[in-house]
A and B are shown apart, each in its own frame.
Chain A
């Protein structure tokens, strides 16, 4: 046992030794220790360097509020994790941890030079310095800032661990397993509420569990013993789930909460067995009881950041919970009674302690208790300086003036190896405010406390501003009874004995004989902002707390200002001469403590990141070496390379084959909507720009759909299957949105229409066969059918049968070739496809992918919605006036087609582009200009589609150009990085302008 392990407790098993490494050195702790308590038991206080000035820093607290002791865990592996609080990580065999933000080591850190030049790097230093000269930014400032920025190292390999999500509902959720949380849980569970209690530590009982003081008794027992028994009883109840090691991350509206459960972080690496590491609980609770407690405030004085300066209650927890004395020669510096409990506890174990109290006097029971034990108390005094490079060794104190604004008298030096500070308590109102709750300011102890208006959650215990034991028990009982409508509880007649605090004195920034400019009085320890920085920000004109926060970076570190925000507010209020309550607070945002990315994404990684949709023919595509393209969630064959072919060669070959003989495309991904009802024709009239009433049964028609603003939204061919029955096709990517949009109109604008929409995209597979030999292939597949132009003309459909399986044959074309599409139930899709390939063999039928499809349609000047349009193109802009009905009274978007903006003649319009050099292929997205001489050069459009056409043996492109309609035949320029490409505006149809091939 080390000399600092002075006490045996039931929470740390001193028979079970655990060895661990810190900064490459081996140490021992015990089972039940945290990394922090184990380090302290070895006398290690110095655990890191501060962010900006690289000052030596030690462990300060014992919980999630820890600003200094943040470590890198498991260095140099894929499991490495930065910014882990040593106060929270449970010790396990083989734990390897190291300090952050120091180089080469925590004891000797080069960056420490920043401490000596600190007067040159005040608040806003970065904003002020890196503005000039401008040329320095890229080469000097940015690399330098990047090198010094950030804390810790990210893992460089993928996270091998499993994370999980769990959705739960409950009647009552209690956040926090301290004394008020235990009381609330017992009342809820005993009254038949389905209850969940979550606690971020591994043991319930909060700070009551280690209380053993004569002045704090419940039903004549020490409060620590009393709660121990209560917890034992609670665990026996049926309808409660108790989750320890589970911290609340976020409290959203309607009582929707996220909590992170640590499942294996406390186990040695070899015992984790590849199980789940963390689980994110997504909880919807009917009622929420917040019992998150309070955080002790530090005090702000000169050099208040040395290793060995710790929060007083944490010193007590290390002593009474872990059995570790943080120092052997302690001084407590306080403004309130709670620190006296620490003093009494130390003194009772025979450890040296003295008290410096800024109050003038106090006669409360606990103060008397300390005095009786012989603890020396310096009243009306303050610490003005501290000494000790890597650990505190002495302090200097002085008396305070009557009003506390100054120091008087002589300096008095006191030796110590631990300074326990206590500036009072801050209720943890994070959860209350995250849920949308407001705060009230309580003047007497300068705290923000919850102002409850929401009926579905309450705050109990010290997070509600109840700090005295008697208040906590009685108010919690009363509030929970009221909240859950319970008439009596076991806590109704609890007798509580506690020492009451009688005197208060709060000074946000303690005075000093040293001038303010020379004092380093830290407020935010992790981000190194001092009282001086706050005052500088105020002098420079920052008034809002949100602005001061960002300018000085106070409260913006990984601890999110849990210790610093109140002091920043207090000092702003004092300096500006306003009341603190009027300043408001900065916004408390989730997460309360940092979450791992793993816990956020859960199982949605790798193949589960997004849904992958595959057609029924997918396996064939894979077997035939297709390269795939993602279209929405669909995997579509992009091209089918033969041997070592690249994209270009494959597409040239496929395109040529489709026009010379036969090609086949898997068109199953196109959206398909089955439309039925007596008003189906009228419905189509309203949603498409062209007329539909006269379309005969068995006929197909191309339709263009607009948004109400007149811009092209989607297109596709719709087939009339029967009197009141249509099959609409949409673009692959637009299918879901089109269905939603149509449903919206049907349900909200035209509920009188008798129309029913059903998505059948996944129900049918489609093989599209095109080319001059397609008719012969179809005849082979359907030998009984007459495919003559008279019997089966273009833009018509017929039913067919393959081996008794029904299918639909549409003679429609997206390539300009003679072309048929066969729709069949998806389960037969692959055999249909194989049949087509077999039948087409003698014609060298060539499977082609999306790239060839795009090329073929571009040769014909057919648009692709989303490629040649971008939500700003009307049908008129696309030179598709022919499809806009003049006769129809109304359709979606009609009125917008003659708004003053849509009839402008200088809108961007779709044109064809031919490069002067026929072998030059334009880049899609390239800008188009007409005049290079006038600077700045005006960009009048851009290329939307561009290909080399093997059928025309030249490069072709589609583009949108201002007033394009008028520019036919004109020369334009496409400027690229290293050259200007000369182009000529052409019609957008490049091949077969007479549409002869469709009936070839």
Chain B
């Protein structure tokens, strides 16, 4: 059970949060101009990395804010959390 440092509320139990999958997948601005393959790439393809991964999390039972997290999926170490729109930290 992680201890997650919500950028708005501080450290809270994992049970207050929900994970929204891979981060930094931007919804295309002109979806109609994309081929099926390009759209499928946005819609379906996720990296599912074993190791350091950028993820979206939502403080669902708290401030309800979405934010990003850098987490190592192999050992669950959370390296950083940062607000939506902020640049991911450079290692």
Question: Does B91 belong to the interface (CB within 8 Å)?
Answer: no
Specify which chain A residues have a CB less than 8 angstroms from the CB of B90 in the assembled complex.
none
Complex Cα–Cα for A468 and B43 (A)? 61
From the candidates A255, A284, A436, A709, name the one contacting B43 in the complex (CB within 8 A).
A709
CB distance from A451 to the nearest CB of B (A): 13
Closest residue of A by beta carbon distance from B27: A749
Question: Does A287 belong to the interface (CB within 8 Å)?
Answer: no
CB atoms of A751 and B2 under 8 A apart: no
CB distance from B17 to the nearest CB of A (A): 12
From the candidates A256, A743, A889, A900, name the one contacting B3 in the complex (CB within 8 A).
A256
Given contacts A256-B1, A899-B36, contact A890 B64 (CB under 8 A): no
Question: Does A253 belong to the interface (CB within 8 Å)?
Answer: yes
Cβ contacts B63-91/A at 8 Å (1 or 0 each): 01110000000011000000011000000
CB atoms of B85 and A895 under 8 A apart: no
Complex Cα–Cα for A885 and B1 (A)? 45
Chain A CB within 10 Å — which of B26, B27, B28, B75 has the most?
Answer: B27
Given contacts A252-B1, A284-B13, A896-B39, contact A747 B31 (CB under 8 A): no
Specify which chain A residues have a CB less than 8 angstroms from the CB of B60 in the assembled complex.
740
Cβ contacts A246-288/B at 8 Å (1 or 0 each): 0000001111100000000000000000000000000010000
Closest residue of A by beta carbon distance from B64: A743
CB distance from B88 to the nearest CB of A (A): 14
Closest residue of B by beta carbon distance from A710: B43
CB atoms of B20 and A744 under 8 A apart: yes
CB atoms of A751 and B84 under 8 A apart: yes
Given contacts A895-B34, A899-B39, A899-B40, contact A254 B56 (CB under 8 A): no
Question: Does B53 belong to the interface (CB within 8 Å)?
Answer: no
Given contacts A436-B76, A894-B31, contact A254 B84 (CB under 8 A): no
Complex Cα–Cα for A709 and B56 (A)? 19
Q: How large is the interface on A (under 10, 10 to 19, 20 to 34, 35 or more residues)?
A: 20 to 34
Complex Cα–Cα for A708 and B39 (A)? 10
CB distance from B42 to the nearest CB of A (A): 8
CB atoms of A890 and B31 under 8 A apart: yes
Specify which chain B residues have a CB less than 8 angstroms from the CB of A890 in the assembled complex.
30-32
Closest residue of B by beta carbon distance from A258: B1
CB atoms of B65 and A747 under 8 A apart: yes
Closest residue of A by beta carbon distance from B20: A744
Complex Cα–Cα for A708 and B41 (A)? 13
Chain B CB within 10 Å — which of A252, A253, A709, A899 has the most?
Answer: A253
Given contacts A256-B1, A747-B66, A890-B32, contact A436 B75 (CB under 8 A): yes
From the candidates B3, B30, B85, name the one contacting A751 in the complex (CB within 8 A).
B85
Question: Does A748 belong to the interface (CB within 8 Å)?
Answer: yes
CB distance from A747 to the nearest CB of B (A): 5
CB atoms of B43 and A896 under 8 A apart: yes
CB atoms of A253 and B84 under 8 A apart: no
Given contacts A436-B75, A743-B64, A747-B66, contact A895 B2 (CB under 8 A): no
From the candidates A254, A708, A743, A894, name the one contacting B32 in the complex (CB within 8 A).
A894
Closest residue of B by beta carbon distance from A900: B36
CB distance from B28 to the nearest CB of A (A): 8
Complex Cα–Cα for A254 and B28 (A)? 37
CB atoms of B3 and A254 under 8 A apart: yes
From the candidates A744, A751, A896, name the one contacting B58 in the complex (CB within 8 A).
A744
Complex Cα–Cα for A894 and B1 (A)? 38
Specify which chain B residues have a CB less than 8 angstroms from the CB of A256 in the assembled complex.
1, 3, 13
CB atoms of B2 and A253 under 8 A apart: yes
Give how many B residues have a beta carbon under 8 Å from the other chain's beta carbons.
Answer: 27
CB atoms of A744 and B66 under 8 A apart: yes
Closest residue of A by beta carbon distance from B74: A436
CB atoms of B1 and A253 under 8 A apart: yes
Taking CB atoms and an 8 Å cut-off, the chain B residues in 20-59 that contact chain A are 20, 26-28, 30-32, 34, 36, 39-40, 43, 56, 58
Specify which chain B residues have a CB less than 8 angstroms from the CB of A284 in the assembled complex.
3, 13
Taking CB atoms and an 8 Å cut-off, the chain A residues in 712-770 that contact chain B are 740, 743-744, 747-749, 751
CB atoms of B3 and A708 under 8 A apart: no
Closest residue of A by beta carbon distance from B56: A748
CB atoms of A740 and B58 under 8 A apart: yes
CB atoms of B43 and A708 under 8 A apart: yes
Complex Cα–Cα for A895 and B38 (A)? 11
CB distance from A736 to the nearest CB of B (A): 9
From the candidates B39, B65, B76, name the one contacting A895 in the complex (CB within 8 A).
B39
Complex Cα–Cα for A748 and B40 (A)? 20
Specify which chain B residues have a CB less than 8 angstroms from the CB of A253 in the assembled complex.
1-2, 76
CB distance from A282 to the nearest CB of B (A): 9
Complex Cα–Cα for A743 and B59 (A)? 12
CB atoms of A254 and B58 under 8 A apart: no
Complex Cα–Cα for A152 and B1 (A)? 33
Specify which chain B residues have a CB less than 8 angstroms from the CB of A740 in the assembled complex.
58, 60
Complex Cα–Cα for A748 and B27 (A)? 10
Given contacts A256-B1, A895-B32, contact A748 B84 (CB under 8 A): yes
Specify which chain A residues have a CB less than 8 angstroms from the CB of B3 in the assembled complex.
254-256, 284
Taking CB atoms and an 8 Å cut-off, the chain A residues in 277-302 that contact chain B are 284
Cβ contacts A571-584/B at 8 Å (1 or 0 each): 00000000000000
Complex Cα–Cα for A748 and B58 (A)? 11
Specify which chain A residues have a CB less than 8 angstroms from the CB of B43 in the assembled complex.
708-709, 896
CB distance from A671 to the nearest CB of B (A): 16
CB distance from B67 to the nearest CB of A (A): 9
Cβ contacts A424-465/B at 8 Å (1 or 0 each): 000000000000100000000000000000000000000000
Closest residue of B by beta carbon distance from A709: B43
Cβ contacts A217-252/B at 8 Å (1 or 0 each): 000000000000000000000000000000000001
CB atoms of B64 and A895 under 8 A apart: no
Complex Cα–Cα for A880 and B84 (A)? 36
Specify which chain B residues have a CB less than 8 angstroms from the CB of A899 in the assembled complex.
36, 39-40
CB distance from B61 to the nearest CB of A (A): 11
CB distance from B75 to the nearest CB of A (A): 6
Specify which chain A residues have a CB less than 8 angstroms from the CB of B39 in the assembled complex.
895-896, 899
Specify which chain B residues have a CB less than 8 angstroms from the CB of A895 in the assembled complex.
28, 31-32, 34, 39
CB atoms of A254 and B2 under 8 A apart: yes
Specify which chain A residues have a CB less than 8 angstroms from the CB of B20 in the assembled complex.
744
CB distance from A566 to the nearest CB of B (A): 26
Complex Cα–Cα for A254 and B13 (A)? 10
Specify which chain B residues have a CB less than 8 angstroms from the CB of A748 in the assembled complex.
56, 66, 84
Specify which chain A residues have a CB less than 8 angstroms from the CB of B76 in the assembled complex.
253-254, 436
Closest residue of B by beta carbon distance from A892: B27
Complex Cα–Cα for A595 and B1 (A)? 19
Closest residue of A by beta carbon distance from B31: A895
Specify which chain B residues have a CB less than 8 angstroms from the CB of A743 in the assembled complex.
64, 66
Taking CB atoms and an 8 Å cut-off, the chain A residues in 877-904 that contact chain B are 889-890, 894-896, 899-900
Specify which chain A residues have a CB less than 8 angstroms from the CB of B14 in the assembled complex.
254
Complex Cα–Cα for A743 and B65 (A)? 8
CB distance from A237 to the nearest CB of B (A): 27
Cβ contacts B1-13/A at 8 Å (1 or 0 each): 1110000000001
Complex Cα–Cα for A740 and B85 (A)? 19
Specify which chain A residues have a CB less than 8 angstroms from the CB of B66 in the assembled complex.
743-744, 747-748
CB distance from A664 to the nearest CB of B (A): 35
Specify which chain B residues have a CB less than 8 angstroms from the CB of A896 in the assembled complex.
39, 43
Closest residue of B by beta carbon distance from A889: B32
CB atoms of A254 and B1 under 8 A apart: yes
Specify which chain A residues have a CB less than 8 angstroms from the CB of B13 in the assembled complex.
256, 284
Specify which chain B residues have a CB less than 8 angstroms from the CB of A749 in the assembled complex.
26-27
CB distance from A748 to the nearest CB of B (A): 5
CB distance from A506 to the nearest CB of B (A): 33
Chain B CB within 10 Å — which of A254, A256, A896, A899 has the most?
Answer: A254
Closest 10 pairs between A and B when the two form their complex, measured CB to CB:
A895-B31, A256-B1, A254-B3, A747-B66, A252-B1, A253-B76, A749-B27, A895-B39, A254-B2, A748-B66
Can you add 6 more A-B contacts, CB < 8 Å, to A740-B60, A751-B85? A284-B13, A744-B66, A747-B66, A889-B32, A895-B39, A896-B43
**Contact sample, A vs B, 8 pairs, CB 8 Å cutoff:** A253-B2, A256-B1, A709-B43, A740-B58, A749-B26, A751-B85, A890-B32, A896-B39
